[in-house]
Amino acid sequence: MAEAAGGPLPEECPGPRSAQAGRAAACQGCPNQRLCAAGPAAPASAEAAEVRERLRAMRRAVLVLSGKGGVGKSTFSALLARGLAAGGAAQVALLDIDICGPSVPKMMGLEGEQVHQSGSGWSPVYVEENLGVMSVGFLLSSPDDAVIWRGPKKNGLIKQFLRDVDWGEIDYLIVDTPPGTSDEHLAIVQYLGAMRIAGAVIVTTPQEVSLQDVRKEISFCRKVKLPIIGVVENMSGFVCPKCQNESQIFPPTTGGAEKMCQNLNVSLLGKVPLDPRIGKSCDSGQSFLAEAPDSAATSSYRSIIQRIQEYCDQHHLQEEKII
């Protein structure tokens, strides 16, 4: 189903949620045919019912994707969750399914915290009363421990996060995914398929080597019928804090995300300039939005977050009409 295994997507892909996943004629020759046929492509009805029951009070989910690592996807996920939770009006959950590279605990200032279990399931680790976090990082004995798991075990943990965590009532579930289009992406789309997925936000940097992989990510979303909220161009230039001159650290040789979005008919949510304070805030587990409220990057983040909120609100209204 996904290109990550090294082959092209079948033109008439039935989608991982289809009963024909991995079995249809179009699946012949697909590098992930066996994964779709034997993986969580069609979760057992009892498992799907358990996930639906646990997340029955979830209003909307937003998946944060990237075609390539190192583009700032986890940073964006963390700041999106903080921005949505700011003011206390919304109940936000941040789910980190980057199983092999769980950086969310450090970014949220929760490194060293542990997950507690009660009669109602695992309890998220809370940054604020209205911002809960779950990550495999909380389950490791040391932040330096390597997670060396095959696909089925990763998928099992994702299912456990959705089914066994006592999320309570949440307005936004933000899902930080690993780079690419592989097991974790298939699993989260399949398990949340019956729920209210508002859509995906795709993070990139301006240079063509990043955009090339983002095009694959957009193709993946369309193949699995995952709505695309829009694209965020991260590290989009550097504005000197002293002289205010702008430099292009990653030159957009092919027009950057803006040109790509025009060509592929996808919304560009905004561009976030480089700011060294973003990395510093993440390392210290602080919110960059609060640490540098007047910066150009914070202004960009707030504009992007507002656009995502507006999209989700519109999506929720449409879902209610259907229901």
Establish if 61 belongs to a structural domain: yes
Is 137 contained in some domain? Answer: yes
% of the chain at pLDDT higher than 70: 86
- Count of domains in the chain? 1
Residue pLDDT, tens place only, 6-61: 444 555 777 665 667 777 777 777 766 766 766 544 445 566 677 777 788 889 99
Residue 3 placed within a domain: no
Which helix (H) or strand (E) segment is 184 a member of?
A: helix 183-191
Average of per-residue pLDDT across 139-163: 89
Q: Is the pLDDT score of 323 beyond 70?
A: no
Whole-number mean pLDDT of the chain? Answer: 86
Domain membership flag for residue 38: no
Per 3-state DSSP, the chain is made up of helix, strand and coil in percentages (nearest 5) of 40, 20, 40
Domain assignment of residue 8, yes or no: no
Q: pLDDT for 277-309, tens place per residue?
A: 999 999 999 999 999 999 999 999 999 999 999
What percent of the chain is predicted at pLDDT more than 90? 59
Distance between CA 231 and CA 49 in Å, rounded? 32
DSSP of 201-214: EEEE-SSHHHHHHH
Asked if the structure places residue 49 within a domain, the reply is no
Whether the predicted model's global pTM rises above the 0.75 cut: yes
Domain containing 304 equals: 57-322
What is the arithmetic mean of pLDDT over 120-126?
92
Euclidean distance between CA atoms 218 and 200, whole angstroms: 9
Q: What digits encode the pLDDT tens for the residues 207-252? A: 999 999 999 999 999 999 999 999 999 999 887 777 777 788 888 9
Predicted pLDDT of residue 310 = 95
Q: What is the CATH number of the domain that holds 151?
A: 3.40.50.300
Maximum distance among all Cα pairs of the chain, rounded to whole angstroms: 61
Question: Does the pLDDT value for residue 205 go beyond 80?
Answer: yes
Identify whether 13 is part of a domain: no
Residue 277 pLDDT: 93
Q: What is the dihedral of CA 284, 287, 293, 298, to 10 degrees?
A: 110
Which of 47-56, 78-87, 252-261 comes out lowest in average pLDDT? 47-56
Residue 193 — very low, low, confident or very high, per pLDDT cuts 50/70/90? confident
Residue 55's pLDDT is 84
Checking if the pLDDT of 312 tops 50, the result is yes
